[in-house]
Amino acid sequence: MFDFSVVTAWIDNLLQGCMSQTAAIIIECVLIGLVLLGVYAVFALVLILAERKVCAAFQCRLGPNRVGIWGSIQTVADMVKILTKEIIAIRHTDKFLYNLAPFMVIVGSLLAFACIPFGRGLQILDFNVGIFFMIAASSIGIFGILLAGWSSNNKFSLIGAMRSGAQMISYELSIGLSMLTMVILSGTLQLSEIVEGQNELWFIFKGHIPAMIAFVVYLIAGTAETNRGPFDLPEAESELTAGYHTEYSGMHFGFYYVAEFVNMFIVAAIATTIFLGGWMPLHIPGLDGFNHAMDYIPSVIWFLGKSAVMVFVIMWFKWTFPRLRIDQLITLEWKYLLPINLLNLILMTIIVAAGWHF
């Protein structure tokens, strides 16, 4: 299997060969930042197009089909349009906080995005507390949303922000606990080691019953964490116009939009990484010929393929289920998901301690 660290090591050697180490490090940091931002934007464009196509399919429509073949560059055109739009300043607001809020959201999302292992050796941040750092980074976004709702000087925005804050804080517990269940199975927090640990068998099969439960809980909580339907109360358009980003215009609105879609991808990517083996090909113990054949498919394709399936499932949720009420939402988390999660955690601990996994 191709290891992408060969490429990065080659670039590193090339730069260090023609300049001092300090300059090489600075240039590498800038390059990585640019690549990260570029990939982030491209992912957002692809995901928005995918969302529109999936939505159209569920509603028996065609979706965008005028710009480019099969509507393929529709979102690029949309991006150019939104970049040229005016950013309208609102009176009687705290300008500093109002303008800061979208950036907080995007920074949290970018930090979490940087941790994703896209392929063998293709990962930017690989701390030994990787998955923990990811949860921490994504919690920054909540602050941005609360700030947006407050500084918009609009009661609908404020209600949306409060809903969003309550929802994200609640569901973060479930996300953390279901991840913790899988961390018990893997024995490490480092994302690259978690993926390596699934060389024999993906964790969802290795941990059988508790892993499946954790997977379902994670998907529900992950969908709620990204404020997507059926949990899209913070921006429930029939009640709150657009929730916390009602007052934002131009690219400031675009930031929320982009961050929402990439957050959805991040949730799907974490599901892929900790349950479905990340970039690891499908390996079944005992079938060496099959395992060897699977290794010929590049790791990036494995990762993006599995993530695409997860993204599709999350979109499927959105266009199938009706929206929950706020009390139902909070009840679901605190009365059902949290107890299930805690019991599941104990179950996983027993199974790992007794060695009853595959």
Give the span between the Cα atoms of 221 and 180, in whole angstroms. 14
Q: How far is the CB of 189 from other proteins (least distance, A)?
A: 5
- What value, to the nearest 5°, has the Cα angle with vertex 185 and ends 179 and 186? 85
Q: Which of residues 160-189 bind other proteins (CB under 8 A)?
A: 161-162, 165, 169, 172, 188-189
User: What φ, ψ does residue 164 adopt, rounded to 5°?
Assistant: -60, -45
Which amino acid belongs to residue 196?
A: E
Residue 227: C-alpha distances to residues 131, 167, 209, 325 (Å): 21, 8, 28, 13
Select the residue interacting with other proteins from 74, 123, 151, 223 (CB under 8 A): 151
Give the span between the Cα atoms of 295 and 302, in whole angstroms. 10
Q: How far is the CB of 58 from other proteins (least distance, A)?
A: 34
Give the span between the Cα atoms of 327 and 303, in whole angstroms. 37
Select the residue interacting with other proteins from 40, 118, 133, 265 (CB under 8 A): 133
- Contact of 250 with 88, CB cutoff 8 Å: yes
The HSE-up count of residue 8 (CA atoms within 13 Å, CB side) is: 16
Q: Which of residues 109-128 bind other proteins (CB under 8 A)?
A: 127-128
Select the residue interacting with other proteins from 79, 114, 142, 276 (CB under 8 A): 142
Give the span between the Cα atoms of 260 and 40, in whole angstroms. 12
Q: How many residues bind other proteins (CB under 8 A)?
A: 34
Q: How far is the CB of 128 from other proteins (least distance, A)?
A: 5
Query: Judged by CB under 8 A, does residue 90 bind other proteins?
Result: no
Q: Which span (56-64, 81-89, 139-147, 300-308) binds other proteins, by CB under 8 A?
A: 139-147
Q: How far is the CB of 165 from other proteins (least distance, A)?
A: 6
Chain positions contacting other proteins, by CB under 8 A: 21-22, 25-26, 94, 96-97, 100, 127-129, 132-133, 135-137, 139-140, 142-143, 146-147, 149-151, 158, 161-162, 165, 169, 172, 188-190
